[in-house]
Chain A
Amino acid sequence: MIPLSYYLILSATLFAIGTAGVFMRRNLITILLSIEIMLNAVNLSFVAFGRAAGDLDGQIITFFVMTVAAAEAAVGLALVIALFRHKESLNPDAFTSLKW
């Protein structure tokens, strides 16, 4: 049986990749994808903990996360389209007018 720590290391690695993507990419679509990777990294650790603990709580909360993630993707993409129509750009650094 694969020990719990393997899942957790994989989960942390995926999370780090997602975080790096959020900060380093210059494209809003890619950033959204990176956020999805982070969410799924968390899902993986939930399921792994659930399995290790021997109950279904981890899997139930994962379903919630996936539902929220679907909604988030819908809202996020709609925002991205609206932003693109506004500025003809997908670079997040183009949208800095909301400041002091």
Chain B
Amino acid sequence: MLALIPLFPFLGFVVNATMGRRLPKAMSGGLASIVMLGSFVVSVVSVWQLVGIAPEARASLAPQVVYTWIESGDLKVDLGFRLDQLSAVMILVVTGIGSLIHIYSTAYMHDETDSEFARYFSYLNLFAAFMLVLVLGSNFPVLFVGWEGVGLCSYLLIGFWYKKKSANDAGKKAFVVNRIGDYAFILGMLAIFTQFGTLDFQAVAAAVAALPVETGFGILSITTLLLFIGATGKSAQIPLFTWLPDAMEGPTPVSALIHAATMVTAGVYMIGRNAVLFSHAPATMLMVAIIGALTALMAGTIGLVQNDIKRVLAYSTVSQLGYMFLAMGMGAFGAGIFHLYTHAFFKALLFLGSGAVIHALHGEQDIRNMGGLRKELPITYRTFLIGAIAIAGIPPLAGFFSKDEILFETFAHGHWILYTIGAITALLTAIYMFRLVFLTFWGDRQTSDASHRHALDDSHRHKSVPSHGHGAGSHLHDAPPAMALVLIVLAIGSVAAGWIGVPHVLGGHNELHAWLQPAFEAPARAGAEVAAAGEAGGEATAEANLELTLIGVSTVIAVLGILIAFRVWVKRRVIAERFAATYPGLYKLLLNKYYVDELYDAVVVQPIKVVSTEGLWRGFDVKLIDGAVNGVGAIVDASATTLRRLQTGSVRTYAGSLFVGVIVILGYYLWR
């Protein structure tokens, strides 16, 4: 039954990949969407069955084994799928948001040729299939199959427009950067196998639960740290985040898929899946939290100054993922997954909204060339605004509850520095999101001086669209029905998704938290812990007051951020320019993303290039390998030149050597 969930999109992939070029667009796109919806239906049914089971039994369900995949000595790996509370949330997000993105794509990609269209949908289906394998896998190797699969698909989709060099480069970058993380992940898997002799999640959790929590930096810390490095690659955290902003080269729905439903959430999910293991390594947990907070802050500051609509959203994703890791590092796994889930809604909405803008403007992505779209794209504007409010954290929209839970957990654990960073990032989030809204949808169309700006800033690479093609007077088309429908559904989701996690102090029951909690406990103890959590619920009112205070602070921060953005980018646009002029160094630093790409280029890429070119190519390959091969040839050539003199052609010489030979052999046998 569970195997059907990834199987549906995989079948869609097979059909579209083999026969897609002969199918009309309605067929290939429709098929891809239908298999995703089918997968969604199966997911809903599966989760419904899970809800029907007694809560204590949910976390310890046996995996559904398709067949035994590897059996060798102590190692036994099943191709098994297991549904528990955590993967239930994940499959609903992946199939639900994924279906919407598929439907949206049928309209967005309509300008492609039939075969390209089918290729696009085959990749999209494969992506979803691998992500579902990732979240349903009952052991590390199955998870790893999905883990690598989404890496492959991200490469294929980011480089979808393979005739564009920048798209190709971005695809390769995503793949290579992910490989670095994957390598650490493999090492982590090996470490787990050597210690526990199993790779099954439940078995590992049970084995770890028996161990004491590690105090120093021991083997568990190393193992979890390796896994975490894998997560930083997949989920775009420091130091491996650089691929995600470049991934904007792909089609916009792909960005939505990567950022919202699949791929980047894999790292967060993986830590949640191994919550017991990570909880036993406080050193790693602290590292996770610090990296998360730093990434959130760094990406937030970069997002303030970017001018490409999709890049701002990309850095926003990196920043929000930082939040999720902050929550994971705090041990608030439920809060992290909650944020993952709400983020999927509003980030998909924002990306698809930006896609609608780009679609309407025929490929324009520079927000400085936009403005005034509020009246011309009303549906896009309204849904985008809802998404922006949700991510900024204004109650009662989705982002507010999840972000606030993370900040509260951070503060409650006594990490006030990390809390401050998180709060500053919340302010930045509100500012850059509303900067985007104001610059894109408010004010006047900025097309008249687009060429002028373009000339000033030729380092910025966006598709140069002739500005006369859609001058200020021309009429723009709002999102076509398929796209508008998806935007509206996601907007509703962005408003309502947070309501299943309303904290107790606001009169809610935080259902999601209670639902998820057993999945993060060791299987044997899950039931007892839930009971204990229930008792602890009616505890301190002081904590409730603190939580209320922090909720107030968060709300004030979000409103403040929006007001700042309003003042800077609507009322007095000069402020931003003057600020940039006053601190040119800081502005340049942010605009160039802290020069991280340049740093990696200088520290990693260039040395490897030099070693490869001068050492491996010109030194090892040309001199040693080629030298050996050519040397053998030269020796044979030289000796043959000498030896061929023996072939005189004269019969008597041959007879002579024959004679001498016989004499020598005879002599040897006679006198030996």
Q: In the complex, what residues of B have CB within 8 A of residue A23's CB? A: 652, 655-656, 659
Nearest CB of chain A from residue B383's CB, rounded to whole Å: 86
> A87 contacts the other chain (Cβ, under 8 Å)?
no
> B651 contacts the other chain (Cβ, under 8 Å)?
yes
Q: In the complex, what residues of A have CB within 8 A of residue B648's CB? A: 96, 99
Nearest CB of chain A from residue B670's CB, rounded to whole Å: 14
Q: In the assembly, what is the distance between CA of A98 and CA of B644, in Å? A: 12
Q: In the assembly, what is the distance between CA of A55 and CA of B291, in Å? A: 103
Complex: chain B residue closest to A97, CB-CB: B649
Contact check, A96 vs B659: say whether CB atoms are below 8 A apart. no
Q: How large is the interface on B (under 10, 10 to 19, 20 to 34, 35 or more residues)?
A: 10 to 19
**8 Å CB interface, B556-612 against A:** none
Contact check, A100 vs B645: say whether CB atoms are below 8 A apart. yes
Partner of A92, one of B644, B645, B647, B651: B651
> A88 contacts the other chain (Cβ, under 8 Å)?
no
**8 Å CB interface, A52-100 against B:** 92-93, 95-100
Contact check, A98 vs B649: say whether CB atoms are below 8 A apart. yes
**8 Å CB interface, B622-663 against A:** 644-645, 647-652, 655-656, 659
Q: In the complex, what residues of B have CB within 8 A of residue A96's CB? A: 648-650
> A30 contacts the other chain (Cβ, under 8 Å)?
no
Complex: chain A residue closest to B640, CB-CB: A100
Complex: chain B residue closest to A19, CB-CB: B659
> A42 contacts the other chain (Cβ, under 8 Å)?
no
Q: In the assembly, what is the distance between CA of A94 and CA of B645, in Å? A: 18
**How many A-B pairs with Cβ below 8 Å?**
27
Contact check, A95 vs B659: say whether CB atoms are below 8 A apart. no
> A22 contacts the other chain (Cβ, under 8 Å)?
yes
Nearest CB of chain B from residue A31's CB, rounded to whole Å: 8
Q: In the complex, what residues of B have CB within 8 A of residue A97's CB? A: 649
Q: In the assembly, what is the distance between CA of A97 and CA of B647, in Å? A: 10
Proximity string of chain A (14-32) to chain B, C-beta cutoff 8 Å, 1 when within and 0 when not? 0000010011000000000
Q: In the assembly, what is the distance between CA of A19 and CA of B656, in Å? A: 10
Contact check, A100 vs B655: say whether CB atoms are below 8 A apart. no
Contact check, A99 vs B655: say whether CB atoms are below 8 A apart. no
Q: In the assembly, what is the distance between CA of A100 and CA of B576, in Å? A: 87
Nearest CB of chain B from residue A40's CB, rounded to whole Å: 18
Nearest CB of chain B from residue A32's CB, rounded to whole Å: 12
Contact check, A92 vs B650: say whether CB atoms are below 8 A apart. yes
Q: In the complex, what residues of A have CB within 8 A of residue B651's CB? A: 92, 95
Complex: chain B residue closest to A99, CB-CB: B649
Q: In the complex, what residues of A have CB within 8 A of residue B655's CB? A: 22-23
Nearest CB of chain A from residue B101's CB, rounded to whole Å: 74
Q: In the assembly, what is the distance between CA of A95 and CA of B659, in Å? A: 20
Partner of A100, one of B647, B656, B659: B647
Nearest CB of chain A from residue B453's CB, rounded to whole Å: 77
Q: In the complex, what residues of A have CB within 8 A of residue B650's CB? A: 92-93, 95-96, 99
7 residue pairs, one from A and one from B, having the closest CB atoms:
A99-B649, A96-B649, A100-B644, A98-B649, A96-B650, A99-B647, A100-B647
A-B contact pairs, 17 of them (CB 8 A): A22-B652, A22-B655, A23-B652, A23-B659, A92-B650, A92-B652, A93-B650, A93-B652, A95-B649, A95-B651, A96-B649, A97-B649, A98-B649, A99-B648, A99-B650, A100-B645, A100-B647
Starting from the known contacts A99-B647, A100-B645, A100-B647, 7 additional A-B residue pairs (CB-CB under 8 Å) come to A22-B652, A23-B656, A23-B659, A93-B650, A95-B649, A97-B649, A99-B649
